[in-house]
Amino acid sequence: MPTPTRSLSQVTVCLLLLGVVGFAMSAQYAIGMPPLLKADEKQHAAYAIVLSQGVLPTIDTNTPADPMRYPQFAEALFGLDEPRRDIWVANHPPLFYVMSLPLVWLGDAVGDVGVTLLGMRLLNALGYALSIILIGLLARELVPRRRVVPVLAAATVLGCGAVTYDGGAIYNDGWGTVAASLTLLLGFRMVREGVTRDRLIWATVAGVAAASFRSTGLVAVLVLGACVLAALWLRDPTMRTFRRGVLLAVRIGLAPVVVIGWFYLRNIVLYGDPTASAALFEKFSRQTHGDTLFQLVNPQLYLHLYGSLWADDVIPKVWALAAAATLVVTVTGLVLDVNAKARPRPGGVMRRVVIPGPEPTLLQRRLELAVRVLMGIYCVIILVNVASFHAGGGWIHARYAVPFLPVIAVLTSLAILRLSRRWVSGVDEAVLDEAVLDEEGVDLRITLYASVGFIVSAMVAHLHIQQRIDGPADASWLVALIAADLVMFAVAAYVAAQLRRRLRSEGEPFARRSSVDQPRVARVSH
C-alpha cells in the first residue's frame, strides 16, 4: 500500500531520534560500569583478543590473564574455577569478534586493553541502538496502516530498562539482533511489495551476516526463504511459481552454508552439535529443568522472559512492577480493541477508529496476514530454542527475550492507542473528513505522550540502575561519567522536544497529506 513520502520520512526521523537516545544511554553504561562487570563480558572480549593473535578459540581455550598486559582480566578472573576461566562463548560464530579486531589492535597500539574493552562496549551499544530502530521498522511491516505504531513500538523498547543496560556491555547480541531484524525486514518487504533482484541480494547478505553473528540467525534465514516463497505464491498461485519460490528459498539457505557453514561443522566435530549446548551444560555441570515440552507449557518461562526486559541482572527488582503494569495495560487494551471492533460504540474508548488511507485490497490483506504469520513462525521457533536451552540447564536473560520485542512492542502500542482514548479524545466530529483526520490526530497525541513517558521511565530506571554499578574511584573516570550523564540527559531532552514538534496533528510534518494523496483517502477502520 502506498505510503505518503513526507509521513514516511517523519516516522524514520522519529525512529532515528529514539535510537540516538538508546545509544546515549548504553554509552553511559559502557563508560560508567567497571571493566568486565557483566556476565560473559570477559569471555566475549577474550574471544576477540585471542582471534587477533591468529587463533580461533574453543570453549576450553584459556582467557588471557597476564597481569601486566591484561590487568582487568587478571582481576576479574581471580578466584574463579577452571571452567569459568575459559572462553566458553567460543561456540558463537566469529563475525562480531572480527568486527572487534580494529579495537583490539587499537588497544595494543596504545598499550591499554581498557581502550579495547570500552570500544567493544560501544560497538555493542551501536548495535542495540540500531536494533531499536529496526524494531520500529518491523512494527511498520506488521501494522502498515497505523503510521504512529513504529514510533510507539520503538519508544516501548526504549522503556525496557534491560535493553539499554545490556547495550552497554560486551555482547554479540546487539549486532546479532541487527542482522536478524534486517533479514526479517527485507523478507517482509518482499512479501508486501514484491520480490526484486536487489531485495533478494540484500536480504541474502543480511541473512549470511545473521548466521555469522549468532546461531539464532539461521532461524531468520529460514523465515526469509519462507517470505520469498509466500511473496511469489500469493501473487501467482501456480506450480511454476511454487517451484521458482522453492528454488530461490534453497539458494538463500545455501548462502550461509557456503560462507559460515564451516564453523557450525567445526562445532559438530568438536562438541557433537552445531551450538555446543550439550558440551557447555556438561562443562558447567548444569542441572536440567524438565524437558522442552514442560518448559513450553510452563507459564513461568514466559513471565520470566517478559519480566527480564525490565528487571534483569542487577536491575532493582522493583522494576518488575513496570513489567507487570505494562502487561496489564497490554492485555486490557487488546481486549478492549477486539471488543471495539466487534461491537463499536458511538464514542469513547470503544468507538470505531477510522484512519485515513486507501481501502486495502483482498490481496493486500492476505499479504499483511502472511507477514504476521511469518513473524509468528519466527517467534515460535525461537521460543522452542529458548525452552530447549532452559530445559537443558541454561539460564534466562533479557537478551533471550529481544527476538520477541517486535511482537511485544506492537501489541503494547496497539493496546496503548486503544486504552488511551479513554483520556485523549478528538474535536467535534460533526464533519466526516474532520473526524477521520481527528482520529489520526488522537493517535499522534497518544504517541507523543506515551513516547515521552517511556523516555522518562527509561531515564529513571537508568539512574536507579546506575546506583548499583560502582565504577573505579578516580578523577578521570568521574569526569567521563559526569560528561556522559550530561550528554545523555541533553540528548533525551532534545529528542523529547523533537518528538513534540514532529508528532503533531496540525501542520506539515506528520499529519497533512499532499494533494496527490487526498483523493485516495478512504475509511480504514481499526
Q: How confident is the model at residue 6 (pLDDT cuts 50, 70, 90)?
A: very low
Q: Tell whether the model's pLDDT for residue 462 goes beyond 60.
A: yes
Residue 509, pLDDT score: 46
- pLDDT tens per residue, range 435-458: 444 788 889 999 999 999 999 999
- pLDDT tens per residue, range 484-505: 888 889 999 999 999 988 887 5
Instruction: Give the chain's mean pLDDT.
Output: 89
Find the Cα–Cα–Cα–Cα dihedral 393, 266, 40, 298, rounded to 10°: -30
Q: Tell whether the model's pLDDT for residue 249 goes beyond 80.
A: yes
- AA identity, residue 6: R
Pairwise CA distance, residues 230 & 368, whole Å: 11
Q: Tell whether the model's pLDDT for residue 516 goes beyond 50.
A: no
Pairwise CA distance, residues 514 & 75, whole Å: 62
- pLDDT tens per residue, range 278-337: 999 999 888 888 899 999 999 999 999 999 999 987 888 899 999 999 999 999 999 999
**What are the helix (H) ranges across 143-172?**
149-158, 161-167
Pairwise CA distance, residues 336 & 345, whole Å: 11
Pairwise CA distance, residues 372 & 141, whole Å: 9
SS3 per-residue string spanning 9-63: HHHHHHHHHHHHHHHHHHHHHHHHCCCCCCCCHHHHHHHHHHHHCCCCCCCCCEC
Which SS3 state, helix, strand or coil, does residue 523 take? strand
Q: Region 221-239: what's the mean pLDDT?
A: 96
Q: How confident is the model at residue 426 (pLDDT cuts 50, 70, 90)?
A: low
- AA identity, residue 523: R
Find the Cα–Cα–Cα–Cα dihedral 218, 223, 228, 232, rounded to 10°: 160
pTM over 0.75: yes
Q: Tell whether the model's pLDDT for residue 207 goes beyond 90.
A: yes
Residue 99, pLDDT score: 98
Between these two residues, 6 and 523, which has the higher pLDDT value? Answer: 523
Q: Which of 69-73, 102-106, 216-220 has the lowest mean pLDDT?
A: 69-73
- pLDDT tens per residue, range 94-148: 999 999 999 999 999 999 999 999 999 999 999 999 999 999 999 999 999 899 9
Between these two residues, 44 and 500, which has the higher pLDDT value? Answer: 44
Given a contact cutoff of 8 angstroms between Cβ atoms, the answer to whether 116 and 164 are in contact is no
Residue 428, pLDDT score: 45
Q: Tell whether the model's pLDDT for residue 429 goes beyond 50.
A: no
Q: Tell whether the model's pLDDT for residue 356 goes beyond 80.
A: no
Given a contact cutoff of 8 angstroms between Cβ atoms, the answer to whether 389 and 280 are in contact is no
How many residues make up the chain in this entry? 526
Q: How confident is the model at residue 514 (pLDDT cuts 50, 70, 90)?
A: very low
For residue 57, give every residue at least 6 positions away whose Cβ sits within 8 Å of its Cβ, in sequence order, or none.
Answer: 46, 47, 50, 51, 87, 90
Give residue 106's Cα distance to chain centre: 29
